[in-house]
Structure 1
Amino acid sequence: MFNFFSKNPCTAPVQPDFPRHRVGQACAVFLVLAAAAPISHAQETTNQALSEVVISASRAEQRRFDAPGAIDAVQVDPFRTASPLVNLSELMGGVAGLQIRDRQNFAQDLQLSVRGFGTRSTFGVRGVRILIDGIPATMPDGQGQAATASLMSAKRIELLRGPLAQLYGNAAGGVLQVFTKDPPVTPGKPDYSLSAGAGSDGQRHVAAGIAGGSETLGGLLDVSRYSTDGFRDHSAARREQLNAKVVAKPSADTTLTGIVNLFNQPLAEDPLGLTHAQFNQNPRQVIANALAFNTRKTIEQNQAGLVVEHKLSASDTLNARVYGGTRKVDQKLAFQANGVVNLDRTYGGVGASWTHAMQVNQLPVRWTVGVEADQLRETRKGFDNIAGNNGALRRNEDDTARNTDVFGQIDWTFTPDWQAIAGVRASRVRFGVDDRFNPAASSTSGSVQYRNTSPVVGLVWHAADTLNVYANLGTGFETPTLAESAYRPGGAPGPNFALKPSKSTQGEIGVKLRSGLHSFDAALFEARSKDEIVSSQSSGGRAIFQNADRTTRRGLEASWSANWAGGLDTRLAYTLLDARFKSPYAGAQGLVPVGNRLPGAPRHSLFADVQASITDSVRAGLEMRLESKTYVNDLNSDAAPGYAVFNARLSREFRFNGAKMLLYGRIDNLFDKTYAGSLIVNDTNARFFEAAPGRRLFVGVRSMF
């Protein structure tokens, strides 16, 4: 397969990209501290530099350096990562343009936003599309779940930002993809792995895996269990996962990949947010209503999928997927009337794409066309919350969401140094609500349909073997989710189908430079949105949404990494984000004036990491993460103060009799800084703040044999 985006794809050999991410490497001074912060990446082996392969931008494998857009690839080595590998925030914290916050609240999932898209989310993920091994973890309505990705068997995580993300559909800000490693080709000799760890706040984690096979059939299976008493009062959680992957190659031209993911979270207490005064008084406390109503959530999700890749000819490749699953959620909110949400969901979908590669004037042209269709059906019930137990039934409805998308994309290298990219995606999304609690009230049932066509164009100049310059422009859209449409302002029954989808126009200009030991990426971006979906009211775990007229997001992303002699690695990632309301709108808490900043989006974010190798087997690292002041509501009447947090890690690897073992330790928040790790934007009761943990230790051991 030729290197499609190389400077001269007809004659130039493929040059390996410098590894952006390597295993944390250590310094003896941290031997007692033994620690690591949520490391933003897990690296390749130290004795072999692997090219950073990505597929998100062009739907075909290529070097990240050659991808015509802002994209990061985090290479994952689960064995050498000095972290328990429970949350994506452990691996992705150092990616420019990405805000990924661990709420320390397993009832609400991670808080994830890209270039300011997704900051409104009070639970789950909005504005960012998530795929795991090609299977959507974002539902047809646009709500995604980051928790279901199994990191114990991951090999790579990609984040695509900017206009090119629009080619993936209902995802305004970006596309996050997690790829599971392939089974090893070891006939008759499977690989086994065991992992265990424990830490502050009652953290406990155990995992086990097996993988093996031949060139025609292989598989892997990993299981894990994590539990914690929680940093805050009333924040205990327990999570269990199983991830299985089977790869079959019945012929040289066909690859079948089967995936099974089981996720069970039987306990996730919700401590809710704190007011600024409560946060300053005692960040570990919980409000009285959380205890009175025993706020918590249980989740059970099971999913299976099949991905097929078949080479029709030397120039044509067919990809197809089919998947299905179930998801059950029971959530107790902090009030009595209709204070229990019970969801029973089935979902699934199919997709197919055809890629054709050819040459024009001895230069490559590649085009892809495809279609995708996904749907979910759920029964939504609401009960009164009587001291944490189900009371009288107050809501009973059947909800549906469907999307049908067709897309096309072409990449054309029209001179040896210049490449053009163009694509378009036509989307149709339909929601339906059938009220079974009060079927005679026609206003509480109904349907709504959204249509959008998203074109994208781009240009790449391969100025040198070490320098690429690109520019992209495109439009996209983001629908409200079923959960965001569930409640009308003022408490009237029935869905809020008056919510409009948000539509955006985005542009970016970027540069990628590789020189010797150094790697540098930078991008200027701007996004203008109409009908921005904002959280106008949020209380006790329930949120009501409305549209704001116009917003803008503009800024700069820059990242630099260097691999020095002697096993020393350094990295920096900086994001400047200016996200504002460009027209006034009347919110539930007052008139929001022009120029106010979007809540949840800090203006400055900086990540720095120094990693050192003491010996061939001892590695350590020191990490710093900085964020500026962040407003908590559209009125900008309150804000979370800025902070800088330092973290450290240490690991040592042992080898004996064909087996290997890793001992590691990490300290998060080395200097015990008090800060808000995440925010509940526009909370009606001014309980905006979710406290991050103070200094805490985690130690663990992994073995492979």
Structure 2
Amino acid sequence: MAGNKGGGRSRKPVSAEASHRLCCLAAAMFAAAPGAALAEEMLPDVVVSVSRAEQKRFDAPAAIDSVPVDSLSTPSPLINVSELLPLVPGVAARERQNYAQDLQLAVRGFGSRSTFGVRGVRLFVDGIPATMPDGQGQASTADLTNASRIEVLRGPFAQLYGNASGGVVQIFTPDPPKAPMARATSGFGSDGQWMAGVTVGGGNDKIGGVLDAWTFETDGYRDHSAARRRQLNAKVVAEPVTGTRVTLLFNAFDQPQAQDPLGLTRAQADAKPRQAVPLATQFNTGKTVRQNQGGVLVEQRLSEQDNLEFRLYGGTRELTQYLGFSGIAPSSAGGIVDIDRSYGGGAMSWHHNTTVAGLPLLWSAGLDADGMRDARTGYVNQNGTQGALRRDETDKAGSLGAFAQFDWTWNPSWRLVGGVRASQVKLRIDDHYITAASPDDSGTATYNNVSPVLGVVWQAVDSLNVYANLGRGFETPTLTEVAYGPGGTGTNLGLQPSTSRQGEIGVKWQGKGQRLEAAVFDAGSHNEIVPLSNDNGRAVYQNVNGVHRRGLELGWRGTYGPGERYGTGLAYTWLDAYFGDAFRNAQGATVASGNRLPGTARHSLFAEATYKPVADLTLGVEMRVEGRVFADDLNTQYAPGYATFNLRAGYNFRVGRMRWYAYGRIDNIADRHYIGSVIVNESNGRYFEPAPGRRFFVGLRAEI
């Protein structure tokens, strides 16, 4: 629950193609750059997320996927990131049918414990961090209706981006077009889903801009789960002089309604999956959010060998959330959370490319600084209306980071890639609500870490790369997790950051119209953060050792026949995530060594097949299979495994100068009843969030 204070075994990679890599240096400290993968057609294969310079994804020194997004011809409404990531192995992206809590996003089991927002995975949108300095992120504000690609980096190299353990997810929108364009989109579906949007843009060789706005509404699959969203996005790209590129970004996100149906017990979910518990309507549970953000990115080419890049951004976020309890007790934080947040940051990086013995060597180095300030209050929830004050404090988080990285082709068939990042994260709580029942919770904490990573890649033949990586990870507690100390007094700023040692070995093969990638990984974590107790809405966390995540990822995509008439794709993940050491949980029970990490499935499979009976018509079938997912550390509650099938179709056509795209999809065609997501360690035993039965969505887009 956003803002609510109450509320195995793994490894990593490296690679190269010199000429591509050195031709264009892109977003270093801010993000990664272009990329693509096989979807329903072959697209350019370029990414920059790892070496921070443009290179082929096939040669990238890590497990990385780049998912192309066609704003006109993607057969999906483009509301949630989970729509676009099923063919990325190692990633669990679950839409919860609950827009008050955001989607669940985990990479290799990192982030699976989060009950709201995104933890353990670092998020960027157009080079601007969507993860706050304390490690909490939000994916809901991303602009997918005008996206061009999503890059997902898994494993140790993610640590070079800062406070994240499992991976980096980066979303990019396209540059403004050189000629005037306009696009309109609309669609509707089951459970009162409706969306509409418009995009306009244009420019010339010196400057261009694009503006898009969209709205989305739904009645919700479950009772008391309606939501409304509105978003406005603007992007201006200018190249005033040769060698200088300036990008201006603005995003406004407004979610005036997002009801929260709360979780269900297993018996409730089996008996009536659409229901909301009575507490949801009694306390009017839900969330409203308004966020405005702006940023500027500058790329300056100094010479053929040197480039500088800068990032500056800032924003505000207003959030009000009604929780499923009153919080009337004097020692409680209250059942209503109200946050006024301001945040921002800056970064700079330098890139230098040279040669050694006639072979390429790329150096990168950079600094970044980010900060946030929350004016946080809590009130009694008097059956859906605001009551007495129960919390008043100012929370601050700040991070400083410095990194250096090299990418050295020391032999025509071998590359060595390495780097190191030094990070400092500071948390501060200034408590303004001090009573006999609620003593002073003020305090500060500072966390320091150095995260090195080293990898090697061998180009065995032109079509086969083999790589291996080792590195150390770092993840701090969030402000929510340090809010309350054991015994219900003070803060928990003695909570330690989680650290991990990760490694990976992988292979990448590509042939004519075919691509196959596999990786095995292993990670062991120290000081993993888990619940210790929960009293009067005050959640207290503790550190435990010996958490392991290990697994296998397999991805395969291919196209066949004239005009790529047939297409196939498969993503399989085997994940063994478990507690290596026993510990006492929030209920005082002993969690046994070997218990599975809640929120993780041991087996996950997504497969698709597409067919083009004619050039402009594409038909597709999808299959998703997932193993059972435990909901608590004791492994006494779990969501059973399931298999579902989806159908989709998309048709491109023209009317005069106008390009049109009509699409439709039917999800869960067998009307299978299953649990789509779990609320890990939910203190009231309401762990389960049912997924919809059979549902449809149809849409129409036009572009000129």
Q: TM-score, normalised by structure 1?
A: 0.93
* Inter-partner Cα distance in structure 2 for 1:206 and 1:446: 46
Deviation, 1:442, is 7.3
- Residue of structure 2 in register with 1:267 after alignment: 257
1:81 aligned counterpart, secondary structure: coil
CA contact (8 A) 2:35 2:67 kept: no
Aligned residue pairs total 670
- Residue of structure 1 in register with 2:423 after alignment: 427
CA contact (8 A) 1:427 1:451 kept: yes
**What does 1:417-566 correspond to in 2, within 5 Å?**
417-438=413-434, 443-490=440-487, 492-536=488-532, 543-566=539-562
Instruction: Supply the AA of the counterpart residue of 1:374.
Output: D
* RMSD value, Cα: 1.9
**What does 1:573-592 correspond to in 2, within 5 Å?**
573-589=571-587, 590-592=589-591
CA contact (8 A) 2:36 2:47 kept: no
CA contact (8 A) 2:293 2:316 kept: yes
- 1:575-620, Cα deviation, whole Å (9 max, x unpaired): 0000010111111121111100000110000010001112111111
CA contact (8 A) 1:538 1:682 kept: no
- Residue of structure 2 in register with 1:614 after alignment: 613
Instruction: Confirm or deny that 1:20 pairs with 2:37.
Output: yes
Deviation, 1:701, is 0.5
Instruction: Supply the AA of the counterpart residue of 1:404.
Output: L
- Residues 541 and 357 (structure 1), Cα distance of their counterparts in 2 relative to 1, 3 Å cut: farther
- Residue of structure 1 in register with 2:146 after alignment: 153
* Inter-partner Cα distance in structure 2 for 1:147 and 1:540: 29
- Residues 11 and 194 (structure 1), Cα distance of their counterparts in 2 relative to 1, 3 Å cut: closer
- 1:528-548, Cα deviation, whole Å (9 max, x unpaired): 000111245579997543222
- Residues 588 and 194 (structure 1), Cα distance of their counterparts in 2 relative to 1, 3 Å cut: same
* Inter-partner Cα distance in structure 2 for 1:11 and 1:424: 21
CA contact (8 A) 2:661 2:701 kept: yes
- Residue of structure 1 in register with 2:629 after alignment: 630
Deviation, 1:50, is 2.8
- Residue of structure 1 in register with 2:31 after alignment: none
Of the candidates 85, 95, 108, which is equivalent to residue 92 of structure 1?
A: 85
* Inter-partner Cα distance in structure 2 for 1:263 and 1:317: 33
Instruction: Confirm or deny that 1:354 pairs with 2:350.
Output: yes
CA contact (8 A) 2:20 2:54 kept: no
2:342 aligned counterpart, secondary structure: strand
CA contact (8 A) 1:539 1:685 kept: no
* Inter-partner Cα distance in structure 1 for 2:442 and 2:402: 29
CA contact (8 A) 2:35 2:151 kept: no
Instruction: Supply the AA of the counterpart residue of 1:414.
Output: W
- 1:115-137, Cα deviation, whole Å (9 max, x unpaired): 00000000000000001111100
Deviation, 1:54, is 1.0
Deviation, 1:517, is 2.3
* Inter-partner Cα distance in structure 2 for 1:8 and 1:142: 36
2:159 aligned counterpart, secondary structure: helix
**What does 1:325-336 correspond to in 2, within 5 Å?**
325-336=315-326
CA contact (8 A) 1:537 1:683 kept: no
- Residues 469 and 541 (structure 1), Cα distance of their counterparts in 2 relative to 1, 3 Å cut: farther
* Inter-partner Cα distance in structure 2 for 1:10 and 1:506: 26
Instruction: Confirm or deny that 1:604 pairs with 2:603.
Output: yes
* Inter-partner Cα distance in structure 1 for 2:572 and 2:104: 19
2:240 aligned counterpart, secondary structure: strand
Deviates more, 1:51-60 or 1:451-460: 51-60
- Residue of structure 1 in register with 2:409 after alignment: 413
Deviation, 1:498, is 2.7
* Inter-partner Cα distance in structure 2 for 1:376 and 1:426: 20
* Inter-partner Cα distance in structure 2 for 1:544 and 1:289: 23
Instruction: Confirm or deny that 1:683 pairs with 2:682.
Output: yes
* Inter-partner Cα distance in structure 2 for 1:539 and 1:207: 45
**What does 1:208-227 correspond to in 2, within 5 Å?**
208-227=198-217
Unmatched tracts of structure 2, length 5 or more: 1-14, 24-33, 328-333
Of the candidates 263, 274, 277, which is equivalent to residue 267 of structure 2?
A: 277
Of the candidates 144, 154, 157, which is equivalent to residue 164 of structure 1?
A: 157
Deviation, 1:487, is 3.3
Deviation, 1:18, is 12
- Residue of structure 2 in register with 1:119 after alignment: 112
* Inter-partner Cα distance in structure 1 for 2:583 and 2:193: 44
- Residues 394 and 261 (structure 1), Cα distance of their counterparts in 2 relative to 1, 3 Å cut: same
* Inter-partner Cα distance in structure 1 for 2:629 and 2:159: 27
* Inter-partner Cα distance in structure 2 for 1:539 and 1:22: 48
- 1:203-261, Cα deviation, whole Å (9 max, x unpaired): 01000010110011001011000000000000000011111100000112010000001
* Inter-partner Cα distance in structure 2 for 1:303 and 1:139: 13
- Residue of structure 2 in register with 1:291 after alignment: 281
Seq. identity, %: 52
* Inter-partner Cα distance in structure 1 for 2:196 and 2:495: 44
- Residue of structure 2 in register with 1:374 after alignment: 370
- 1:360-397, Cα deviation, whole Å (9 max, x unpaired): 00000001000000000110100000111110001000
- Residue of structure 1 in register with 2:383 after alignment: 387
Instruction: Supply the AA of the counterpart residue of 1:505.
Output: R
2:99 aligned counterpart, secondary structure: coil
- Residue of structure 1 in register with 2:44 after alignment: 51
- Residues 185 and 537 (structure 1), Cα distance of their counterparts in 2 relative to 1, 3 Å cut: farther
Unmatched tracts of structure 1, length 5 or more: 24-45
CA contact (8 A) 2:632 2:681 kept: yes
- Residue of structure 1 in register with 2:297 after alignment: 307
- Residues 203 and 149 (structure 1), Cα distance of their counterparts in 2 relative to 1, 3 Å cut: same
* Inter-partner Cα distance in structure 2 for 1:618 and 1:633: 45
* Inter-partner Cα distance in structure 2 for 1:391 and 1:382: 9
1:152 aligned counterpart, secondary structure: coil
- Residues 160 and 263 (structure 1), Cα distance of their counterparts in 2 relative to 1, 3 Å cut: same
* Inter-partner Cα distance in structure 1 for 2:156 and 2:95: 27
* Inter-partner Cα distance in structure 2 for 1:543 and 1:519: 46
- Residues 8 and 422 (structure 1), Cα distance of their counterparts in 2 relative to 1, 3 Å cut: same
CA contact (8 A) 1:272 1:540 kept: no
- Residue of structure 2 in register with 1:397 after alignment: 393
Deviates more, 1:652-661 or 1:62-71: 652-661
Deviation, 1:516, is 2.0
- Residue of structure 2 in register with 1:32 after alignment: none
Of the candidates 67, 79, 82, which is equivalent to residue 75 of structure 2?
A: 82
2:598 aligned counterpart, secondary structure: coil
* Inter-partner Cα distance in structure 2 for 1:614 and 1:208: 31
